[in-house]
Amino acid sequence: MKLLSRKATCNSHGQDSSYFLGWQEYEKNPYDVVQNPSGIIQMGLAENQLSFDLLESWLANNPDPAIFKRDGQSIFRELALFQDYHGLPAFKNALVEFMAEIRGNRVSFDPKKLVLTAGATSANETLMFCLAEPGEAFLLPTPYYPGFDRDLKWRTGVEIVPIHCSSTNSFRVTESALEEAYEAAKKRNLKVKGVLVTNPSNPLGTTLSLDELNLLVSFISLKNIHLISDEIYSGTVFSSPEFVSVMEILNKKKYSADVELWNRVHIVYSLSKDLGLPGFRVGAIYSNDEMVVSAATKMSSFGLVSSQTQYLLSAMLSDKKFTRNYISENQKRLKQRQEKLISGFRSAGISCLESNAGLFCWVDMRHLLSSNTFDAEMELWKKIVYDVGLNISPGSSCHCSEPGWFRVCFANMSAETLTLAIQRIKDFAELTVASSSRRSHQSMKNSRRRSLTKWVFRLSFDGREPDERIQLQIISY
């Protein structure tokens, strides 16, 4: 009898993919301006490190608001004992107001419909447990966050069926792509329970357009399925168009009385990106469906937010002056940083998808490929990791259907480091263009996603045993 479960011995956690090679290499040789200036620069990590000073100065002005000072009494004991899965009321109130503020107060949220979870990782998994049986499916537009393969599928047994988006229309979701995905699921005998979108998108860095939002809502309305909108990056929208939450679409006259539809739209949120606090494990599910809220609340027992953290953040987020300033200043800095990356890459002859949000750019390196294949993408990627010294994320790891796209993060390093990264890519691009013009072009192949997967597994078993110590967990990419 096999000793461990199937889940423990399978690969569904997705962490054996060759994608992690980049991480491994970074860990072995991390860039440090003083100690290792020729090391690999980490650009595969979607962290927001630009605004810690704002948080630190708030703390300096509000020293230890928690543990010891409320009406002169110590509340440590109450906090240490507080494990109610309904969450700290003060925290939930502050959190829903923060969420509303990010949406320009065009929507408001009811704290009673909010369920706290251990990060968005847990929120997404919990929603799967609530909405689908093992073997059922959710449709996701590609490219998508690699972590979804683990979060949505691993322990739940739910399947992901991709909605293929293409560069020809800037990767926007189309009606035909949706229908195609739905049919593809049917052909695989998979019952589709819903659509999950990330808005703003990881890895694209774009917000869903009004057209797309309307399309999605009418699609799920027609098919009588769920829509999950992972809005974890909603606070990182730094230029127009403004962020439009799916909840705003529901507010429209057409849908406002359709209670059943409302019950099928759920939002996932977290403070990991907007506030740059991934370590604190603060996630949330927002649903209008009582039963979902009830079930998810019970399930949150498996991953509650530390009461210590809830308390700190309730104080911080209740400070409206602080949140207003933080949101706007943070967005300004992100915009600046993105513009720097975009112009830097442009001067290297590399263009990025036009974006207005997120902590990364979706970079077009198709012209640097030796052929229009995922093999060539991997080849290029390895060069960039090993030779150029930048750990960026290949589009294939995000299930992109076209080779040559890469996600490059810009908010997890200093401005100087970004300058250096841009210089490195410029040098590399110049070299590559020069050498490829001396070669004849190979014929373009349409390589199927499946052949990539085989290839990827071959690579990962290529004598390299993933060293657990070196592989950082991938909570965020």
Q: Which active-site residues does the annotation give?
A: 145, 230, 232, 273
CB 138 within 8 A of CB 390: no
Closer by beta carbon to another protein, 85 or else 386: 85
Which residues lie across from 42 on neighbouring strands?
A: 391
Residues 420/410, Cβ–Cβ less than 8 Å: no
Q: DSSP alpha helices (H): ranges in 82-174?
A: 89-102, 119-131, 148
Report, in Å, the least distance between residue 119 CB and another protein: 7
CB 234 within 8 A of CB 103: yes
Give the residue with the Cβ less far from another protein, 100 or 475.
475
By the 8 A CB rule, do 217 and 339 touch? no
Residue 334 to residue 331: CA distance in whole angstroms: 5
Measure the CA dihedral 260/261/263/264, to 10°.
Answer: 130
Pure H helices in 189-228: 210-223
CB 44 within 8 A of CB 23: yes
Residue closer to another protein (CB basis): 206 or 300: 300
CB of 455 to another protein, least distance (A): 23
Please report, as a single letter, which amino acid is at residue 253.
Answer: K
Between 27 and 180, CB nearer to another protein: 27
Collapsing DSSP states into helix, strand and coil, what is residue 367? Answer: helix
CB of 317 to another protein, least distance (A): 11
| Token digits of residue 338 | 């993105």
Answer yes or no: are the C-beta atoms of 405 and 144 closer than 8 Å: no
Q: Cα-flanking dihedrals φ and ψ of residue 430, to 5°?
A: -60, -45
Cα Rg of the chain, angstroms: 22
The CA distance from 148 to 262, in Å, is: 24
- Rounded least distance, CB 255 to another protein, Å: 14
Taking the complex as a whole, how short is the minimal distance between the CB of residue 45 and another protein, in angstroms? 10
Token pair recorded at residue 60: 């300096």
C-alpha dist (Å) from residue 462 to 16, 255, 457: 11, 53, 8
* Omega cis (within 30) before 394: no
Closest contact distance (angstroms) between CB of 49 and another protein is 7
Of 112 and 448, the one with the shorter C-beta distance to another protein is: 112
What is the nearest approach in angstroms of another protein to the Cβ of residue 46? 11
- Residue 151: alpha-carbon gap to chain centroid: 11
Residue 141 CB-density burial (10 A; 0-12 exposed, 13-18 middle, 19+ buried): buried
Q: How far apart are CA 383 and CA 435, in angstroms?
A: 14
CB of 161 to another protein, least distance (A): 18
By C-beta, is 93 or 209 nearer to another protein?
Answer: 93
Q: Which is nearer to another protein, 298 or 448 (CB)?
A: 298
By DSSP bridging, strand 114-117 and strand 283-287 are antiparallel
Within 13 Å and on the Cβ side, how many CA atoms surround 422? Answer: 22
- The nearest distance, CB 301 to another protein, in angstroms, is 5
Query: Could you write out the DSSP letters of every residue in 51-77?
Result: THHHHHHHHHHS-STTTT-BTTB--HH
Instruction: Between 82 and 455, name the residue whose CB sits nearer to another protein.
Output: 82
**Smaller CB distance to another protein: residue 45 or 378?**
45
